[in-house]
Amino acid sequence: SPQWEKRVKYSARPRSGHFSVLVTGAAGFVGSHVSTALRRRGDGVVGLDNFNAYYDPSLKRARQTLLEQNGVFVIEGDINDNHLLKKLFDIVAFTHVMHLAAQAGVRYAMKNPGSYVHSNIAGLVSLFEACKSANPQPSIVWASSSSVYGLNSKVPFSEKDQTDQPASLYAATKKAGEEIAHTYNHIYGLSITGLRFFTVYGPWGRPDMAYFFFTKDMLKGKPISVFQGSNNKSVARDFTYIDDIVKGCLGALDTAEKSTGSGGKKKKDAQLRVFNLGNTSPVPVTKLVSILEKLLKVKAKINVLPLPRNGDVMFTHANISYARKEFGYKPTTDLQMGLQKFVNWYLDYYSISEKKNSW
Which residues contact ligand NAD (rule: CB under 6 A)?
24-25, 27-31, 48-52, 60, 78-80, 100-104, 119, 123, 143, 145-146, 197, 199-200, 206
| Nearer of residues 51 and 322 to ligand NAD, judged by Cβ | 51
| Nearer of residues 20 and 119 to ligand NAD, judged by Cβ | 119
Task: Return left, alpha or beta for 42; rule: phi > 0 is left, psi -120 to 50 is alpha, else beta.
Answer: left
Q: End-to-end alpha-carbon separation of the chain, Å? A: 41
Per-residue CA distances from 98 to 32, 78, 154, 349 (Å): 11, 15, 30, 27
- Helix count and strand count (H, E) for the chain: 12, 15
Q: How far is the CB of 26 from ligand NAD (least distance, A)?
A: 7
Q: How far is the CB of 147 from ligand NAD (least distance, A)?
A: 7
| Nearer of residues 99 and 132 to ligand NAD, judged by Cβ | 99
Q: Is the dihedral of CA 316, 60, 275, 184 positive or negative?
A: positive
State the Rg of the chain over Cα.
20
Output the residue with the shortest Cβ distance to ligand NAD. Answer: 28
| Nearer of residues 64 and 191 to ligand NAD, judged by Cβ | 64
Q: How far apart are CA 261 and CA 13, in angstroms?
A: 24
Q: How far apart are CA 68 and CA 162, in angstroms?
A: 41
Q: Which residues pair with 73 in a beta bridge?
A: 46
The contacts of residue 220 (CB under 8 Å, 6+ apart) are none
Q: How far is the CB of 63 from ligand NAD (least distance, A)?
A: 8
The catalytic residues are 170
